[in-house]
Homo-oligomer: A and B are copies of this chain.
Amino acid sequence: MKVVKFGGSSLADAAQIEKVQNIIQEDEQRRVVIVSAPGKRNSEDDKVTDLLIALGSSIQAGETDRDIYKKIISRFRVMTEELGLPLSVAEKVKDTIDEAVEMVKDDSSHALDALKACGEDGSARIVSAYLQECGLQASYVNPKEAGIVVRDQPGGALVLEESFDQLYSLRSRNEILVIPGFFGFTPEGELVTFSRGGSDITGSIVAAGLKADLYENFTDVDSVFCVNPMDVDQPKELTSLTYREMRELSYAGFSVFHDEALIPAFKEKIPVCIKNTNNPSAPGTMIVSDLPERESHVVGIASDKGFLNLYVSKYFMNREIGFGRRLLQILEDEGVSFEHAPSGIDDMSVVIREHHLPPEKEEVVVNRIKTELQVDTVMIEREMALIMIVGEGMNQTIGIASRAAAAFREAEVNIEMINQGSSEVSMMFGVKSSGLGKAVKSLYRTFFE
């Protein structure tokens, strides 16, 4: 059996949902369907999840934005009508939204998560009703009923092990099951969402729990590209890559698939196929556990902006047992997560996502470092970008670092940071954001042309 997940653009309107129905009907192995919230119908349009978040904020600010509320209700009503579904479907979606709105008004715990989740829930109700309408045996299945149990961290759920056994029992149901993505329930029964884009995670969890033969992830691209098409014109398509490669690429700007979503599939070694709802006959990109040896060891180049470098120097640092640990402790105390912390003899750098260290936190952190660690220098350099080149076998291939470094030189971009060796499948470079585009183009020429 196959678990099939459809992203927001695949559920943006009635026409898209018809495509979804066709895809499901085409292959009787497609037995479990995970859906995102309706996405944009055009570039000017809103994603339903963004609207729900804005609605929640307005309520919390004491001024419920009725326009946004109406927009949301209308999105679902129009879809229902265009698909020729009974009005009761749209009513049910509205009831769920209204219930969440009341929760936010009452300031009850987990209310925002409940409201954010209404987009996926609505999609699932409409898709399941439409499948029935088309004569298929199909049911809406709530994640609570499905058994998706998560740790209680609003907006950052993590699946609990018990979920997988519970999900397995869904195999015995002889019909198409439509499950909303993006959320689960705590052992106490509270609704909690995964991080943004978390429907990919739900799909992966369900595929793992059901021990599916394949997890198909339908998006709006034919395949994964080896580099961001915003940086390079018509880059090469990837027909296959490994879980580890995909995870590293997702981390640094490959938004086609959620960073964390691969893990449940990986643990059960379930192949993942990225496909296009608008061109379902294209083969897509397969993500698997192992691949036969390939000629080139670099399969992708990913990059992301918005990092800063916290630089600290102190004489005798390398004699002070515990210096690095105490520096990281200060960051932890202040709730600042970091990406990398390479150290030299008398100096240490910590790479942090800029939004994790807003100015008010920066002041606290810098002062604590100065007074508690008595450092000689503490400096923050903003507007850094990270570039990762990714590929299995890379770390054991002589000459990759040399070709990569030469590409930076050709682009006349200085390498501020290199982190190689901590990961077996990637090499990371830090550059000033202004040089990012040039560097990525040059790396593409080096490894793919």
**Copies of this protein chain in the complex:** 2
Q: Which residue of B lies closest to A264 (CB)?
A: B315
Q: Which residues of B contact A414 (CB under 8 A)?
A: 395-398
Report which of B325, B346, B398 forms a contact with A412, defined as CB distance below 8 A: B398
Contacting residues of chain A (193-218) with chain B, CB-CB under 8 angstroms: none
A420 touches B417 (CB 8 A): yes
B339 touches A318 (CB 8 A): yes
Given known A-B contacts A325-B329, A395-B416, A396-B414, A347 and B424 have beta carbons under 8 A apart: yes
Nearest Cβ on chain B to A170's Cβ, whole angstroms: 24
What's the Cα separation between A311 and B348 when bound, in Å? 19
Nearest Cβ on chain B to A175's Cβ, whole angstroms: 33
Given known A-B contacts A321-B335, A417-B421, A247 and B345 have beta carbons under 8 A apart: yes
What's the Cα separation between A298 and B267 when bound, in Å? 46
What's the Cα separation between A427 and B418 when bound, in Å? 9
Interface centre among A408, A413, A414 (most CB of B within 10 A): A414
What's the Cα separation between A263 and B322 when bound, in Å? 21
A344 at interface by CB-CB < 8 Å: yes
Q: Which residue of B lies closest to A413 (CB)?
A: B398
Taking A325-B325, A405-B405, A416-B421 as given, write out 14 further A-B residue pairs in contact, using a Cβ cutoff of 8 Å, ordered by the A residue number: A247-B346, A251-B345, A266-B315, A321-B337, A324-B328, A339-B343, A340-B343, A344-B422, A347-B424, A396-B414, A398-B414, A402-B405, A402-B406, A419-B419
6 closest cross-chain pairs (CB), A and B: A417-B421, A344-B423, A402-B405, A325-B328, A418-B420, A402-B409
Supply 26 A–B pairs (Cβ within 8 Å), ascending by A: A248-B345, A251-B318, A263-B316, A266-B315, A309-B421, A311-B422, A322-B328, A322-B332, A324-B341, A325-B331, A328-B328, A339-B343, A341-B342, A342-B342, A343-B422, A344-B426, A344-B428, A345-B423, A347-B422, A399-B409, A401-B415, A401-B418, A402-B402, A402-B405, A402-B406, A402-B409
